[in-house]
Structure 1
């Protein structure tokens, strides 16, 4: 009898441990998608008591996966999550490899150029070189915006399989940043089709007022999207999609160069 009881206890403990791991991973997904998560929201999403959600979030905080700016505030992505995102594209530091190419595009276009990664439904700018012009878009490193509101994010989304898009945007709800943001799922799908056809994405004041951008995706040898490169400009220098062609040509040439370099280094 005692042996059976011990086995049952062990099985129950294993199930409990697996459940805790699943819940912790789900919390990381939610924080990656929303960029901020409160204990009460976590409890509702997981279907657990607030005390359980608080315990899990604190464990993630201690390990650096999430951070909390002050007691009782929302939890946000921590430094470890960002490093994991960078490691996921290979053992090469993409920022180091990309920097000369970003500088080359900056010199050719005289505009700010950025490098971005996708995090859930958002895009994070991980490196940036500023335009030398007096009126320019400033350094955006560390900025996080909804992916569908940026050229950088849309370029990556357009390169993803349909099944992955549906998973990430379950429900089809799209947050908006400005009155120009895409808020309708069908409209976004149509734009992604056009991005695939053209080879680049355009944003006219969709993520931030006064800022436009052109972006192209970087892929690995299996055609999986790794990141995106974008030229980011004041809207008066790119007031509509019709003016994006010249910037796109400079960007695509540099993207192809960077893509080949990355593929070679990741394969080594």
Structure 2
């Protein structure tokens, strides 16, 4: 286990230094079999530290590694940087707002701010949720290369979100295509009964999606398509501000 961890870290360092590496080059560099090299690279891709544009192509720097470099440079993290803006969004919209990141095939809530409506959604009890059933998860997944998406969900257990209309990879790909067309993600009662949400991706300085910002409401307040569009248009300026804060001029 320790040897595998050392090899994985060495792989990330190699790509961070060189910019890219092929499977054959990694196997030679670490003096391991191609199958072992493939497992290490696949693990790094699944966690977002490396990326691959297509089958057989070289592996490059992934969004998680880019964001890690930014966080180290600025001596802080996404939560500290974006929390004030998320709080302003919650005050403006009167609804509960979240910031989340992708972990494998789940999303993790890293920040939640409750709205001020008398009837509102509270902060999430579970800190992770199946990404395919959430608006925030779909907003992030829609930005992944097809090869990476398939790799993450090739052996996925879809039973974690029984109310979601997405129950296999083909349905997920179709839903993500809709997300790209409308430019935002949506779910109604799929992650939790009676709860609806809309979300937008948050891009870093290099245009990689590093998080998602979402607005969660009781499903009655999203009964019409115009309700979702209204929430998204109110959320957009705050996401734009988040992305501005992640630019190099603001984080150095």
Corresponding residue pairs, total: 195
- Residue in 2 that maps onto 1:252: 236
Alpha carbons 1:217, 1:227 under 8 Å: kept:
yes
Gap regions ≥5 residues in structure 2: 10-64
Cα shift readout 1:97-153 (whole Å, capped 9, x = no counterpart)? 211211221122110000001111000001111011221110127621000010011
TM-score by length of 2: 0.68
Q: CA deviation at 1:187?
A: 1.8
Given the superposition, is the C-alpha separation of residues 189 and 244 from structure 1 closer, same or farther in structure 2, using an over 3 Å criterion? same
RMSD of Structure 2 on Structure 1 (CA): 2.9
Structure 1 ranges of 4+ moved more than 6 A: none
In the other structure, the counterpart of 2:12 is: none
TM-score, normalised by the number of residues in structure 1: 0.65
Farther-moved stretch of structure 1 (228-237 vs 163-172): 163-172
Q: For 1:200-221, what per-residue CA distance to the aligned partner results, in whole angstroms no more than 9, with x for missing partners? A: 1001011111111000111123
List gaps (5 residues or longer) in structure 1: 1-15, 25-83
Give the deviation of 1:184 after TM superposition: 2.7
Residue 95, structure 1, aligned to residue 79, structure 2: yes
Greater radius of gyration (CA): 1
**3-state SS in 1 of match to 2:116:** coil
Say if 1:152 and 1:201, in contact at 8 Å, map to a contact too.
Answer: yes
On the 8 A contact 2:166/2:175 being kept in 1, the answer is no
Pairwise CA distance, 1:191 = 1.3
Q: Which moved more, 1:142-151 or 1:113-122?
A: 142-151
1:18 aligns with 2:6: no
1:239 is matched with which residue?
Answer: 223
Offset of 1:234 from its aligned partner?
0.9
Counterpart of 2:234 in 1: which secondary structure?
helix
Contact 1:212 1:239 in 2 (8 A): no
Larger CA deviation: 163-172 vs 230-239: 163-172
Question: Is the 2:67–2:210 contact (alpha carbons within 8 Å) kept by the matching residues of 1?
Answer: no
1:22-171 to 2 correspondence within 5 Å? 87=68, 90-91=71-72, 92-140=76-124, 143-171=127-155
